[in-house]
Amino acid sequence: MATIDLNDVELMALDERCSRQARSLLYHSYKDEPTFKYLLDSSRPGYKQRIRATIRELIRLHFERGETVLGVVHKQDRRVLGVAFVSDVELKMDISRQFLWRLKMTLTAGFEGTRRYIQYFNDVQSSLPNKAHRTVSLIGIHPEFQKQGLGRLLMEAVHQQVSDDAQSIGVFLDTGNTRYLTFYESLGYERFADIKMGNDLTEVVLFKANPNYVEQAA
């Protein structure tokens, strides 16, 4: 574990030039997560290739949609130490209608992995209200720099974006790893919905309200 001084990093919006670093960082962040292990069936050979392909296609779709990517970057060597992909362009997206994305996913992650991911994505989306909101779809801190405040720094930047938008009710995220719940609760998140996935896995949808939200007149 490397030590980092928070004065040596900065928050900034990232573009596609950072895709390679983001892919590597998110792979290490998600490869052992219960949700991805279930969705992409870690018991079968080729799991590492499937998760790399899934993350690659999700990042590509995110950039194609022009959505926000926030990063924690080391000031000196410009290394990306943390990323958060925030969906904020459209209220909801039916991922099953993204034909090219679905085709690429099927070719690289396999039919069953693609089917499971689409089902999971749509279940999460269906649990969310029909009011303007943002979602953190992907987030990760480099394994060498975890538990040093970078995750909190990154999430505070997301929350600032949300609070600057009076039309947004707040921000949602989901996790299948219970060890993250305490961290998110310390940031003001509350349990919004539970989604059953497989025999022993529950995906928890969390919500943090925007204190500056202004109800729109009908």
Instruction: Kindly list the averaged pLDDT for each block of 10 residues, start to end, along the chain of length 218.
Output: 87 94 94 93 92 90 89 94 83 60 79 88 89 92 91 95 93 92 95 89 95 82
Cβ(177)–Cβ(140) under 8 Å? no
Residue 96 is predicted with a pLDDT of 60
Cβ(73)–Cβ(153) under 8 Å? no
What is the helix, strand, coil percentage profile of the chain, to 5? 45, 25, 30
Cα separation of 199 and 135, whole Å?
A: 26
Instruction: Assess if CATH 3.40.630.30 describes domain 6-209.
Output: yes
Cβ(125)–Cβ(87) under 8 Å? no
Residue 2: both structure tokens together: 């490397």
Residue 97 is predicted with a pLDDT of 63
Q: Where are the beta strands (DSSP E) in 8-152?
A: 9-13, 68-74, 80-87, 134-141
Residue 93 is predicted with a pLDDT of 57
Residue 91 is predicted with a pLDDT of 39
Cα separation of 141 and 123, whole Å?
A: 26
Instruction: Report the Cα–Cα distance between both ends of the chain, in Å, rounded.
Output: 53
Residue 40 is predicted with a pLDDT of 92
With a CB cutoff of 8 Å and minimum separation 6, the contacts of 97 are: none
